[in-house]
C-alpha cells in the first residue's frame, strides 16, 4: 500500500482482499438482518401465545382465567333479554292420577254463628304435591320350592336368582347411570345410594355393573359404527384424556342420531384406522384442520367456527385487514343459509368475494423469510401466512356449507359430544386403566346415541343390563 498525497494506492492483492472483506461484511450483515427478522417473528409468536384465549383460538374456556374479559364471536341480535314472544313456557303439570289422597274437611263456625261442617258441599279444589316416597327401594323374596323324589333325587324350582341376596337390575342400572352418564365418582355414588336409597353398595358391584353393561353393548357399538359409516354427513373430532399416567386421545364420530367414542394412545391415522369408522366412510366428514383427516378418500368440509377464531386472532393481534374481511364474509354467508336465501346468484357472489379477499391478502401478507444460513427442514411460516394458505388450498372444503344444505357451518356437534369427555375428566379425574377408558367409551356411545334418539337414559341402561339393549 502506497500513499500519494491524499490518495492510497493498493496493490491488486490488497484490492482483492478488500473486496473479500466487503463481501464478508455484507454476508454477515445479511445474516444478522435475517436473524433479527427471525427473532422479531419469534417475539410476535410468543406474545401472540399470551394473547390467545377461547374467543380467538381453540383453547378451552377453562384456560381463560379471570384476568381478562373474553369476547365471544356471537353478534347481538337486537332482541330483548328473556323469553321471546310466542315462547312456550314450562311449569309443573298435574298428574292424571294421584297415588295418595288426603281429604281436608271444612270445620269451624262462621262469623254469623253457623256450623260450617253441616253446610252442603258445593265444590272441591285439588292441590297436588310431588315428592319422594319415604322408601325408594323394595325387596322381593323369591321362594324356591325344593322337593325330594321317591328315588331320592333332589329337585329345585327354576329361578333366575342364584344368590341368597343380590341387587336387581334397577339398582345396578342406577349405578351405571351415576358413574357413566352423570360422571359421579364411585365414592360419591356410594354415598348417594346409602343416603337416598338406604342401600350399601360396594366398589365391586359398581365395577361389575359397568363391565356387564359393556359386554351387553358389543352389538350395539357395531350398530352405531355401521350407521355412522353409512351416513351422508359425519362429524369428527378428538380430545386429549389422561389414562394410565399418560396422554391418550378420545376420537369421536357423530351425527344427529348416533355417537361413537374410541380411545387410543395416538391422535393421528393409526388411531383412526384402529377405530375403523372413517376408513369405511364415503360421505362428507366435517372436522377441523387436523391433517390426519385429509388422508381419507371421503369428501371433507372444514369447521368454520375454528377458522373464525383463528381469523379473529390474526385480525386483532396482527392487524391483518384480509382476516377481518373474511370474518364478515363467512358470517354473512352463514346468516344467508339460516335465512334460506342462498340463491345461485348469492352463492356465486360469495365465491367471487372470497376470491377477491384472497387476492388482496396475497398483497398484504409478506412472503416467508428467506433462509440465509443452510439449515435442515422447511422455513417456518407465520401464523397468518399459514392461515392464508389454508384459505387458498381449502376453498372448496371451507365453502361446502353453502353448496350442500346438509353440511353445517361448523363442527359444533362433535365438540358438544366431546365436551362430555372433558366433563368426565373434570369431575371424576383421569382413568387409572385403559380398560376403564374403553368401558366408558362404549357405554357413553350407547348413552349418547339413545339420548339423541329420544330414549330415557336410565331405561336404556336397564334394558342393556337385562340383555335387551335398545336397537341403535
Digit-by-digit pLDDT tens for the chain (472 residues) are 555 555 666 667 777 787 888 888 998 999 999 889 888 878 877 877 777 776 676 666 666 665 656 565 666 666 777 667 777 766 666 666 888 899 999 999 999 989 999 999 999 988 888 888 888 888 999 999 999 999 999 999 999 888 888 899 999 999 999 999 999 999 999 999 999 998 999 999 999 999 999 999 999 999 999 999 999 999 999 999 999 989 999 999 999 999 999 999 999 999 999 999 999 999 999 999 999 999 999 999 999 999 999 999 899 888 899 999 999 999 999 999 999 999 999 999 999 999 999 999 999 887 665 554 555 656 667 788 999 999 999 999 999 999 999 999 999 999 999 999 988 888 888 888 999 999 999 999 999 999 999 999 999 999 999 999 999 8
Residue (of 230, 275, 284) closest to 442 by Cα position: 275
Distance CA 227, CA 471 (A): 11
> HSE (CB half, 13 Å, CA atoms) of 418?
21
Q: How far is CA 110 from CA 103, 288, 316, 426, in A?
A: 21, 76, 77, 63
Distance CA 260, CA 255 (A): 9
Instruction: Region of 78 please: left (phi>0), alpha (psi -120 to 50) or beta.
Output: left
Distance CA 469, CA 169 (A): 13
Cell 384465549: give the residue: 53
Distance CA 440, CA 443 (A): 5
Q: Give alpha helix (H) positions in 8-116.
A: 12-51
SS3 285: strand
Residue 248, beta-bridge partner list = 241
State the pTM of this model. 0.79
Distance CA 335, CA 351 (A): 15
Residue (of 138, 152, 241) closest to 198 by Cα position: 138
Is residue 411 within 8 Å of 235, Cβ to Cβ? Answer: yes
Q: Give alpha helix (H) positions in 165-262.
A: 169-176, 186-197, 203-216, 218-229
Residue (of 203, 193, 201, 189) closest to 427 by Cα position: 189
Distance CA 217, CA 464 (A): 7
- Chain center to CA of 129: 39
Element (H, E) at 347: helix 344-364
* CB burial of residue 73 (10 Å; 0-12, 13-18, 19+): middle
- Chain center to CA of 383: 25
Amino acid at each position: 500500500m502506497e500513499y500519494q498525497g491524499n490518495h492510497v494506492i493498493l496493490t491488486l492483492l490488497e484490492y482483492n482482499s478488500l473486496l473479500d472483506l466487503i463481501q464478508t461484511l455484507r454476508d454477515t450483515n445479511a445474516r444478522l438482518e435475517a436473524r433479527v427478522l427471525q427473532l422479531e417473528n419469534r417475539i410476535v409468536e410468543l406474545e401472540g401465545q399470551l394473547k390467545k384465549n377461547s374467543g380467538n383460538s381453540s383453547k378451552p374456556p377453562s384456560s381463560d382465567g379471570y384476568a381478562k374479559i373474553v369476547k365471544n364471536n356471537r353478534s347481538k341480535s337486537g332482541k330483548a333479554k328473556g323469553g321471546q314472544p310466542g315462547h312456550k313456557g314450562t311449569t309443573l303439570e298435574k298428574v292424571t292420577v294421584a297415588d295418595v289422597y288426603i281429604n281436608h274437611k271444612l270445620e269451624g263456625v262462621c262469623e254469623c254463628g253457623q256450623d260450617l261442617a253441616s253446610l252442603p258441599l258445593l265444590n272441591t279444589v285439588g292441590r297436588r304435591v310431588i315428592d319422594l316416597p319415604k322408601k325408594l327401594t323394595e325387596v322381593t323374596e323369591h321362594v324356591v320350592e325344593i322337593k325330594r323324589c321317591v328315588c331320592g333325587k333332589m329337585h329345585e324350582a327354576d329361578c333366575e336368582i342364584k344368590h341368597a341376596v343380590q341387587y336387581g337390575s334397577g339398582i345396578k342400572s342406577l349405578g351405571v347411570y351415576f358413574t357413566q352418564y352423570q360422571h359421579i365418582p364411585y365414592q360419591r355414588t356410594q354415598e348417594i345410594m346409602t343416603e337416598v336409597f338406604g342401600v350399601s353398595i360396594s366398589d365391586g358391584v359398581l365395577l361389575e355393573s359397568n363391565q356387564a353393561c359393556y359386554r351387553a353393548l358389543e352389538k350395539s357399538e357395531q350398530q352405531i359404527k355401521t350407521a355412522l359409516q353409512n351416513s351422508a354427513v359425519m362429524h369428527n373430532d378428538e380430545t386429549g384424556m389422561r389414562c394410565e399416567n399418560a396422554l391418550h386421545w378420545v376420537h369421536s364420530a357423530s351425527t344427529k342420531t348416533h355417537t361413537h367414542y374410541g380411545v387410543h394412545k395416538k391422535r393421528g391415522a393409526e388411531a383412526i384406522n384402529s377405530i375403523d369408522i372413517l376408513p369405511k366412510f364415503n360421505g362428507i366428514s366435517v372436522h377441523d384442520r387436523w391433517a390426519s383427516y385429509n388422508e381419507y378418500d371421503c369428501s371433507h368440509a372444514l369447521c368454520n367456527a375454528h377458522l373464525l377464531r383463528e381469523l379473529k386472532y390474526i385480525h386483532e393481534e396482527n392487524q391483518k385487514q384480509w382476516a377481518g374481511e373474511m370474518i364478515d364474509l363467512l358470517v354473512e354467508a352463514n346468516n344467508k343459509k339460516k335465512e334460506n336465501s342462498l340463491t345461485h346468484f348469492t352463492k356465486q357472489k360469495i365465491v367471487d368475494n372470497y376470491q377477491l379477499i384472497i387476492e388482496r391478502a396475497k398483497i398484504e401478507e409478506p412472503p416467508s423469510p428467506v433462509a440465509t444460513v443452510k439449515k435442515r427442514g422447511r422455513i417456518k411460516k407465520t401464523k397468518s401466512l399459514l392461515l392464508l394458505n389454508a384459505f387458498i388450498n381449502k376453498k372448496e372444503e371451507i365453502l361446502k356449507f353453502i353448496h350442500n344444505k346438509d353440511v353445517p357451518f361448523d363442527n359444533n356437534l362433535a365438540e358438544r359430544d366431546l365436551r362430555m369427555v372433558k366433563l368426565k375428566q373434570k369431575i371424576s379425574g383421569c382413568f387409572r386403566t385403559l380398560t376403564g377408558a374403553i368401558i366408558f367409551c362404549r357405554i357413553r356411545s350407547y348413552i349418547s346415541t339413545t339420548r339423541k334418539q329420544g330414549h330415557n337414559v336410565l331405561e336404556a341402561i336397564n334394558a342393556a343390563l337385562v340383555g335387551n339393549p335398545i336397537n341403535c
